Amino acid sequence: MSSPYFALRERLLGPLRDQPLTTDQLYEAGRIICGHPESLSLYGVPAAELTARGLRVLGRTALECTKDPHPAAIAELIAEIQHPLGQRPMVVDLFCGSGNIGHHLGRRLGHPVYAAERDPLVYATTRHNLDRLDSSVALHHADYREMLTALPALPARSEGDIYVVDPPWGAAAFTPDGLDLTRTAPPLPEILDDVRRSRDHLPCLVVIKTNDRIVNSSLDNSLGGAVHLHTFTPEPMLPPGLNAEFHIYRLSERSPSSSR
> Where along the sequence are the contacts to ligand SAM (CB under 6 A)?
61, 64-66, 95-98, 100-101, 116-119, 122, 143-144, 166-168
Nearest to 5 by CA among 225, 180, 173: 173
Our CB check for ligand SAM shows the closer of 160 and 167 to be 167
Nearest distance from C-beta of residue 58 to ligand SAM, angstroms: 9
Our CB check for ligand SAM shows the closer of 151 and 252 to be 151
Strands laid side by side in the 204-211 sheet: 138-141, 113-117, 91-93, 162-165, 204-211, 244-251, 227-232
Nearest to 241 by CA among 7, 5, 37, 40: 5
Q: What count of other Cβ atoms lies within 10 Å of the Cβ of residue 185?
A: 13
Our CB check for ligand SAM shows the closer of 140 and 199 to be 140
Our CB check for ligand SAM shows the closer of 100 and 222 to be 100
Residue nearest ligand SAM, CB atom distance = 97
Q: What count of other Cβ atoms lies within 10 Å of the Cβ of residue 233?
A: 11
Nearest distance from C-beta of residue 93 to ligand SAM, angstroms: 7
Contact call for residues 25 and 33 (beta carbons, < 8 A): no
Give residues with Cβ within 8 angstroms of 62, minimum separation 6. 12, 21, 25, 26, 29, 33, 40
Nearest distance from C-beta of residue 166 to ligand SAM, angstroms: 4
Our CB check for ligand SAM shows the closer of 5 and 252 to be 5
Nearest distance from C-beta of residue 161 to ligand SAM, angstroms: 18
Nearest distance from C-beta of residue 185 to ligand SAM, angstroms: 7
